[in-house]
Amino acid sequence: MAESVVKRAFKYRFYPTSAQEQELLRTFGCVRLVYNRALEVRTEAWSQRRERVGYVQTSALLTGWTKSGEYAFLTEVSSVPLQQCLRHLQGAFASFWEKRAKYPRFKSRKRGKASAEYTRSAFRWRDGQLTLAKMTEPLDIRWSRPLPEGAEPSTVTVSRDPAGRWHVSILVETTVEHLPPSTTAVGVDAGITTLLTLSTGEKITNPKHGDRDRARLAKAQKALARKQKGSRNRIKARLWVARVHARVADRRRDHLHKVSTRLVRENQTIVIEDLAVRNMVKNARLARAISDASWAELRAMLDYKARWYGRRLVAIDRWFPSSKTCSARGHLLDRLPLTIRTWTCRCGTVHDRDINAARTILAAGLAVTACGDGVRPTRHQSARQLSKPPSEGKKQELSGASPMGNPPP
């Protein structure tokens, strides 16, 4: 059976001793300082002198900082996490230049999680125990699942989330066997009331984890607002809020893993829409519901699991009118408001809006599979036309843009 060689991260909880906690907190602070200082230097160099500073220059600056009296304390922690944060900053700028992300932001001591990355030269892996640089004792890790047999960690990332939980992520190179080939294909329509609607007619309910803990979160946030700034009680209240958020995120992620794994196991081809979630959450009335559904995270899970297990994920263009196109005859409506959940086509077919969209998405995805990834259906092509193979000696005309690409002019 075919298999894929992948780099896979295994994440575990661990409980540091007081000495290890102090060492890690000191490392987090130094990492944050170096990152922010390098970002400041790069920003000033470009804004004042139009000079581009890269990783090599910031690495040389780091050497100078450790030798100066002002930043001599940087030598008290391992140098590897400091170098790694400069590489991460370089990656953040690369994403910005390629217009895949916003301009890098300064790291905050109070916002987000703190982390430090250790490469092979900065930790010791022996007899299933992990010991980081500058530490004498191995980490007390809760092995919730074993590492692949014979796998050797290449990178270790230690982090503490806003809820105060400590995690270690161990990156290893391993093999994943492909699932047995299947002839099943499914179209998936994402929604809010129903998380996913499949072309088979099945609807997967949205648990709405955010709504279920809304009252608990409101109570915690109200308590936080009443605490005096800078007090220990405010720190405790902030931790309470973070734990509620962590509970919601964990339950949501668990559900998405189960749904995505099931779709990949049962289908050879999965067809979805290329939704612009970042733009959709700008709708003030739907932002909370869209964020709670977490379509982007589900899409990412389907993407890497399909690659791991030998499946195919097809994304059709976001502008394809899947809801307004009759999946039976291909007729296209001029308008279909969101309030209309069931409609009757002029051919007499009664459609459930979401099921019809999923079937139309499947037809468009099969056309993309047959014609190649470099095509996408136009706004006015019907699902019936897309489901037909191109005739002999005649090229099927589709607009030349990627199914992951930009909206049509």
- DSSP conformation letters of 181-240: P---EEEEEE-SSEEEEETTS-EEE---HHHHTHHHHHHHHHHHHHSPTTSHHHHHHHHH
b/e string for 293-307 if b means 16 or more Cβ within 10 A? bbbbbbbebbeebbe
Over its C-alpha atoms, the chain yields an Rg (Å, rounded) of 25
Q: 274 catalytic, yes or no? A: no
Integer Cα distance of 53 and 68 in angstroms: 21
b/e string for 91-128 if b means 16 or more Cβ within 10 A? ebbeeeeeeeeeebeebeeeeeebbbbbbeebbebeee
- DSSP conformation letters of 314-340: EEE-TTS-TTTB-TTT--B-S---TT-
| Of 212, 220, 218, nearest in space to 241 by CA | 220
Check residue 103 and give left, alpha or beta (phi > 0: left; psi -120 to 50: alpha).
Answer: beta
Active-site entry in 354, 373, 392, 397: 354
Active-site entry in 117, 273, 292, 317: 273
Place of tokens 């930009």: 406
Find out whether 132 and 178 touch, Cβ atoms under 8 Å: no
Measured at the CA of 204, the angle between CA 200 and CA 210, to 5 degrees, comes to 160
Pairing mode, if any, of strands 3-13 and 203-205? unpaired
Integer Cα distance of 106 and 242 in angstroms: 21
Active-site entry in 23, 117, 189, 317: 189
Integer Cα distance of 314 and 271 in angstroms: 5
Integer Cα distance of 13 and 165 in angstroms: 7
Look up residue 72 and give its amino acid: A
Q: 354 catalytic, yes or no? A: yes
Q: 189 catalytic, yes or no? A: yes
Tokens of 184: 């099943």
Q: Which residues are catalytic?
A: 189, 273, 354
